[in-house]
């Protein structure tokens, strides 16, 4: 395993059939000469295994050698979602089947021009055997190649490679006989007895072989199970892939690179960053340049090396052209992840695409092979970062991650199922994260597994955005966490569905949280259904999902729902809407406390440009671990690049923000304005600051 202070910095280079072979030598020489050190090649099942018993790796062989000759390291990205034509001839039942009965097979897309998308059903045993044989063949062939850096065994794990990524119920996959059979076995493993499943689903099945996959929304846990089954499917497939490589190569690390939520959702993509990250030696992601993506990955990685595997700096397509990255864009791609512990950067891609609708975008060169105008700036950044490589590559702990945000597939599926949309979960997650980040806290993420295992004790505060589907075990663990001194914050509808019974809870917050939090639901209001005239909050919100309120003179907002509660003795109202209806309750619990927000606070703060919940959060959770961050304006994040004297200051707001640091600093790229107070960031600006005193 590579342990030197190597920080990969480079590009995706080869996705057969482009670039053509006559450009390889020229491009890779230039890439190295320009200061980059790593390239990524796709090894595609359809392309490199053109006949059942014949592999043709001549292109990869040559590319590996060119990389080695030029001192470049290679990420080998194994692409199995492009099934060979012969596979279907051999196994006609290999295709995924959608809910509406459509066979998904053999598509060519803008990002898989050679066809074969989305590959076989992941439950087709023969196809799985053949996919693993392909991986083993690759591992045998390149295990000892001196250019090999890492095996990236899954590019953006999901089910349909974007064919059916939008979560429409009729597009869900896969309803083929193999998947249904596996699903029934999965249910048996989960529930043990059919009677238990019948209780949770509300059915009267005679045995597990009667169980039907969910086909429409309207019921709860059958849909949740059906989609969670696919999350496990993707995770299990990753385990098989990693094992297939390790059989022949235990020296090189194995990883996959995911796409974080909300871009990939649990309903149709079934990619669980936490579960996938537990499998490999390293982790990576696409579009990981924002603090949310970097934060999710760093949390899921649990100390494993993390790379930003696929930076989309030059997106575009044939008729719309492409985005030309500015210095600010490039700095954000590199330094925001760097401040979150990411230690590797691969751009998509070196040559612009020439085949298909992604042409002429995505390249760091122009169509003729010359450097693009922004490349000079990128090279400067690369040199700057690599000059710090000894300090950077040495692993450092993350900054104290004071706040953990709950990331959960079951809640996401449940929110989609209940709300007929993705906004409830996604906006709550995005806003929940942003509230804390923009208030100066270091924020990580945790999943259901971390609640079970006790790994939540890494955090001092837990935030549950739109946590609609919980169970009483979670409540017990939360009670223990607060008893031991932690703070826990729930939004409206927490624990609405009890996953253990499948039922809507009789009290809200549900699953026993009502007693724990000392509140009991009285009435439920929604911005889309104003029936009650006693409170002016909802009337004010008519036509909008936002529910603004103020706290110590600061504006903030909830969204969509407003639950009125009866409070137990000892439960305190911390903040209220203008009409007097409580917005935030708090109750002491052991050494810690439990907070209940009566609305979707994350959603509101995501959508309300004037929102500033920092005062509320400081009162609820205490000051940020690095106390001077409390004095930063809401929206300015300042992260230490651990191991160096660099700090990254960036803004998520669309307005200029001035801030002061407690020490003197030099703006390394001159992207901030120097003011009397310190610095000012332009809208969505970034500055790389070196502490000088």
Partner 1 sequence: MINQCFAYEYVYEQILRDIENGELKENGYLLSEKEYCRKFDVSLTTVRRALERLRAECIVEKIKGKGTFLSSKVRCVCCPPNRYIGMLVLSPSEQNKPGSRKTKYVNMYAHNIYKSIFRELNGEYNLLIDTIADDEVEKRFPSSVLSHMDKLLLMGETRRSVVEYLHGQGKCVVVYNYFEPDVQVCRVNNDERRKFGEVVGQFVKRGHSRIACINGTNNFSESLERYMGYQDAMILNDLYIDARYVKWGNMTPEDGYDLTKELLAVDPRPTCIVCINDGVAMGACDAIADAGLMPGRDVLVSGHDNALGDNYKYKFTTIDPLYDNVGKIIADKLRRTTWIDDETIQPGTLIFRGEDEEKII
Q: Contact, 689 vs 679, CB < 8 A?
A: yes
**304 or 555: whose CB is closer to partner 1?**
304
Q: Are strands 461-464 and 283-286 parallel, antiparallel or unpaired?
A: unpaired
- Token pair belonging to 342: 């990411």
**What's the min distance (Å) between Cβ of 480 and partner 1?**
5
Residue 662 makes contact with partner 1 by CB under 8 A: no
Q: Which stretch binds partner 1 (CB under 8 A): 303-311, 406-414, 559-567, 581-589?
A: 303-311
Q: Which stretch binds partner 1 (CB under 8 A): 78-86, 195-203, 347-355, 391-399?
A: 391-399
Residue 316 makes contact with partner 1 by CB under 8 A: no
Angle, alpha carbons 395-398-401 (nearest 5°)? 165
Residue 232 makes contact with partner 1 by CB under 8 A: yes
**What's the min distance (Å) between Cβ of 125 and partner 1?**
20
**127 or 461: whose CB is closer to partner 1?**
461
Among residues 50, 421, 485, 579, the one that binds partner 1 under rule CB under 8 A: 485
Residue 500 makes contact with partner 1 by CB under 8 A: no
Angle, alpha carbons 325-327-332 (nearest 5°)? 85
Residue 523 makes contact with partner 1 by CB under 8 A: no
Residue 303 makes contact with partner 1 by CB under 8 A: yes
Q: How many residues does the chain have?
A: 693
Residue 481 makes contact with partner 1 by CB under 8 A: yes
* 616 vs 384: CA distance, rounded Å: 39
Helix axes 409-419, 221-246, angle to 10 degrees: 140
Q: Contact, 427 vs 559, CB < 8 A?
A: yes
Q: Contact, 150 vs 77, CB < 8 A?
A: no
Q: Which stretch binds partner 1 (CB under 8 A): 31-39, 58-66, 475-483, 549-557?
A: 475-483
Residue 580 makes contact with partner 1 by CB under 8 A: no
Q: For residues 603, 606, 610 and 612, what is the CA-based torsion angle, rounded to 10 degrees?
A: 80
Tell me the three-class secondary structure of 626-647, residue by residue.
CHHHHHCCCCEEEEECCCCCEE
What is the number of other CB atoms lying within 10 angstroms of the CB of residue 100?
Answer: 12
Three-state DSSP state, 443: strand
Residue 588 makes contact with partner 1 by CB under 8 A: no
Among residues 397, 533, 543, 553, the one that binds partner 1 under rule CB under 8 A: 397
**485 or 580: whose CB is closer to partner 1?**
485
Among the residues of 349-422, which ranges form H helices? 375-386, 389-393, 409-419
* 637 vs 439: CA distance, rounded Å: 8
Three-state DSSP state, 618: helix
- Token pair belonging to 494: 């927490």
Residue 645 makes contact with partner 1 by CB under 8 A: no
* 101 vs 174: CA distance, rounded Å: 9
Three-state DSSP state, 179: helix
**283 or 361: whose CB is closer to partner 1?**
283
Cis bond leading into 83, ω under 30°? no
Residue 480 makes contact with partner 1 by CB under 8 A: yes
* 369 vs 356: CA distance, rounded Å: 18
* 280 vs 1: CA distance, rounded Å: 12
Residue 483 makes contact with partner 1 by CB under 8 A: yes
**What's the min distance (Å) between Cβ of 396 and partner 1?**
5
**461 or 469: whose CB is closer to partner 1?**
461
Tell me the three-class secondary structure of 385-399, residue by residue.
HHCCHHHHHCCCCCC
Among residues 591, 655, 666, 677, the one that binds partner 1 under rule CB under 8 A: 591
**453 or 536: whose CB is closer to partner 1?**
453
Q: Which residue in 176, 213, 181 sits closest to 97, CA to CA?
A: 176
Residue 460 makes contact with partner 1 by CB under 8 A: yes
Residue 248 makes contact with partner 1 by CB under 8 A: no
Q: Which residues, numbered 261-290, are part of the site for partner 1 (CB under 8 A)?
A: 275, 278, 281
**What's the min distance (Å) between Cβ of 221 and partner 1?**
18
Residue 193 makes contact with partner 1 by CB under 8 A: no
User: Residue 631: CB partners within 8 Å, gap ≥ 6?
Assistant: 660
Q: Which stretch binds partner 1 (CB under 8 A): 116-124, 209-217, 355-363, 473-481?
A: 473-481
**What's the min distance (Å) between Cβ of 676 and partner 1?**
32
Q: Which residue in 266, 271, 274 sits closest to 300, CA to CA?
A: 274
Q: Which residue in 204, 205, 202, 196 sits closest to 222, CA to CA?
A: 202
**137 or 476: whose CB is closer to partner 1?**
476
# of chain residues touching partner 1 (CB under 8 A): 36
Q: Which stretch binds partner 1 (CB under 8 A): 116-124, 300-308, 383-391, 685-693?
A: 300-308
**312 or 593: whose CB is closer to partner 1?**
593
Among residues 21, 85, 125, 484, the one that binds partner 1 under rule CB under 8 A: 484
**Residues 433-452 as x/- pattern, contact with partner 1 by CB under 8 A:** ----------------x--x
**What's the min distance (Å) between Cβ of 281 and partner 1?**
7
**117 or 617: whose CB is closer to partner 1?**
617
Residue 691 makes contact with partner 1 by CB under 8 A: no
Q: Contact, 431 vs 485, CB < 8 A?
A: no
Residue 30 makes contact with partner 1 by CB under 8 A: no
* 684 vs 329: CA distance, rounded Å: 9
Footprint of partner 1 (CB under 8 A): 1-3, 232, 235, 275, 278, 281, 302-305, 394-398, 400-401, 449, 452-455, 457-458, 460, 477, 480-481, 483-486, 591, 625
């Amino acid at each position: 395993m590579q342990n030197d202070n190597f920080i990969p910095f480079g590009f995706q280079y080869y996705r057969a059939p482009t670039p053509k072979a006559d450009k390889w030598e020229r491009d890779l020489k230039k890439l190295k000469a320009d200061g980059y050190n790593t390239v990524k090649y796709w090894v595609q099942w359809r392309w490199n295994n053109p006949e059942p018993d014949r592999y043709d790796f001549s292109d990869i062989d040559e590319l590996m050698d060119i990389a080695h000759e030029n001192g470049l390291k290679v990420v080998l990205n194994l692409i199995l979602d492009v099934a060979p034509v012969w596979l279907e001839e051999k196994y006609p039942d290999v295709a995924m089947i959608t809910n509406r009965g459509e066979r998904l097979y053999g598509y060519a897309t803008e990002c898989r021009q050679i066809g074969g998308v989305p590959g076989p059903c992941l439950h087709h045993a023969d196809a799985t055997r053949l996919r693993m044989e392909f991986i083993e063949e690759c591992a045998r062939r390149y295990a000892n190649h001196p250019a090999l850096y890492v095996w990236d065994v899954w590019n953006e794990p999901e089910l349909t490679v974007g064919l059916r990524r939008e979560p429409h119920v009729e597009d869900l996959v896969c309803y083929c006989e193999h998947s249904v059979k596996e699903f029934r076995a999965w249910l048996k493993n989960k529930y043990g007895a059919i009677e238990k499943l019948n209780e949770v689903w509300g059915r009267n099945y005679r045995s597990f072989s009667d169980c039907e996959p969910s086909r429409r929304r309207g019921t709860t846990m059958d849909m949740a199970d059906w989609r969670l089954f696919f999350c496990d499917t993707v995770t299990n497939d990753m385990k098989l892939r990693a094992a297939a490589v390790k059989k022949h190569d235990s020296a090189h690390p194995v990883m996959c690179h995911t796409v974080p939520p909300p871009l990939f959702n649990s309903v149709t993509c079934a990619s669980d960053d936490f579960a996938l990250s537990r499998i490999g030696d390293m982790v990576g992601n696409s579009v990981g340049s924002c603090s949310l993506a970097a934060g999710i990955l760093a949390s899921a990685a649990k100390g494993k090396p993390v790379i930003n595997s696929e930076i989309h700096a030059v997106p575009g397509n044939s008729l719309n052209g492409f985005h030309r990255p500015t210095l600010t864009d490039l700095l954000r791609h590199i330094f925001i992840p760097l401040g979150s512990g990411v230690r590797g950067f691969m751009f998509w891609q070196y040559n612009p695409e020439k085949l298909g609708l992604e042409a002429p975008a995505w390249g760091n060169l122009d169509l003729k092979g010359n450097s693009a105008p922004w490349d000079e700036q990128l090279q400067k950044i690369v040199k700057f970062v690599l000059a710090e490589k000894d300090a950077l590559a040495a692993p450092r702990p993350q900054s104290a991650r004071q706040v953990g945000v709950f990331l959960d597939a079951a809640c996401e599926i449940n929110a989609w199922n209940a709300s007929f949309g993705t906004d409830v979960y996604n906006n709550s997650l995005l806003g929940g994260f942003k509230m804390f980040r923009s208030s100066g806290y270091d924020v990580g993420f945790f999943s259901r597994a971390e609640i079970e295992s006790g790994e939540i004790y890494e955090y001092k505060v837990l935030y549950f955005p739109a946590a609609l589907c919980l169970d009483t075990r979670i409540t017990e663990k939360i009670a223990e966490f607060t008893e031991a001194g932690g703070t826990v914050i729930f939004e409206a509808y927490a624990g609405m569905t009890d996953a253990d019974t499948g039922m809507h809870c009789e009290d809200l917050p549900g699953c026993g949280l009502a007693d724990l939090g000392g509140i009991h639901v009285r009435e439920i209001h929604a911005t889309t259904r104003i029936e009650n005239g006693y409170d002016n909050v909802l009337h004010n919100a008519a036509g909008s999902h936002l529910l603004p309120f103020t706290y110590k003179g600061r504006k903030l907002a909830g969204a969509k729902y407003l639950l009125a509660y009866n409070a137990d003795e000892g439960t305190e109202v911390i903040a209220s809407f203008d009409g007097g209806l409580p917005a935030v309750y708090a109750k002491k619990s052991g050494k810690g406390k439990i907070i209940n927000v009566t609305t979707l606070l994350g959603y509101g703060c995501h959508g309300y440009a004037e929102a500033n919940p920092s005062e509320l959060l400081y009162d609820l959770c205490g000051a940020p671990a690095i106390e001077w961050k409390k004095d930063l304006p809401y929206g300015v994040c300042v992260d230490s690049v651990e191991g160096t004297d660099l700090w990254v200051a960036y803004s998520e707001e669309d307005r200029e923000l001035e801030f002061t640091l407690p020490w003197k600093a030099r703006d390394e790229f001159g992207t901030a304005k120097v003011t009397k107070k310190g610095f000012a960031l332009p809208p969505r600006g970034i500055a790389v600051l070196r502490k000088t005193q």
